[in-house]
Amino acid sequence: MSSWTRLFVFSAILLLATGCIKRKLFIRPTPKDARVFLDGIELENNEGVVEQPFTFYGTRSVTTRRRGYKTNRQMWTIPTPWYSRFPIDFFTELVIPWTIDEKHEITVSLEQEPKNQSKSTQQLIQRAEDMAKEAGSELRR
């Protein structure tokens, strides 16, 4: 076997055996059916777990909403691990022959809105009906 053939085979093996880092962010809202937004984009909630792959580390905006609960907005920082810092990241991304699974998890609990909130809503509807009567028309629902 010629030296060029050996070099080609060795290079092909290295390229096929390269590793990578699989990064995933898990968001677990309570209650489980809450709507979850990451950086303003709504994500699919599967049985109380939102799974989102990501590429870059840094600060992300996480917002959770559900009717009857207060909206929760928080900034969450995904820390950069040692193996993703320069110059080590070259080897972990391209050279090592295995995959690194990296998982980050956020648990978010929503607070229920106070029960008197519905009373104030009823008062608002009553005021609207009173104003409509004063104006000589009926309030449509």
Domain boundaries, the chain: 19-110, 114-141
- Please report the sign of the dihedral spanned by the C-alpha atoms of residue 130, residue 135, residue 137, residue 140: negative
The whole-angstrom distance between residue 135's C-alpha and the CA centroid of its chain comes to 48
| 61 neighbors 38 (Cβ within 8 angstroms) | yes
Dihedral angle over CA of 115, 117, 122, 124, nearest 10? 170
Question: Which residue, chain included where needed, has tokens 């005021």?
Answer: 127
Given the candidates 1.10.3470, 2.50.20, 2.20.180, 2.60.40, the CATH classification of the domain at 19-110 is: 2.60.40
To the question of pTM greater than 0.85 for the whole model, the response is: no
Write out the two tokens for 56. 């870059």
Mean pLDDT of residues grouped by 10 in the chain (141 residues)? 77 66 93 93 90 93 92 93 88 81 93 72 82 72 55
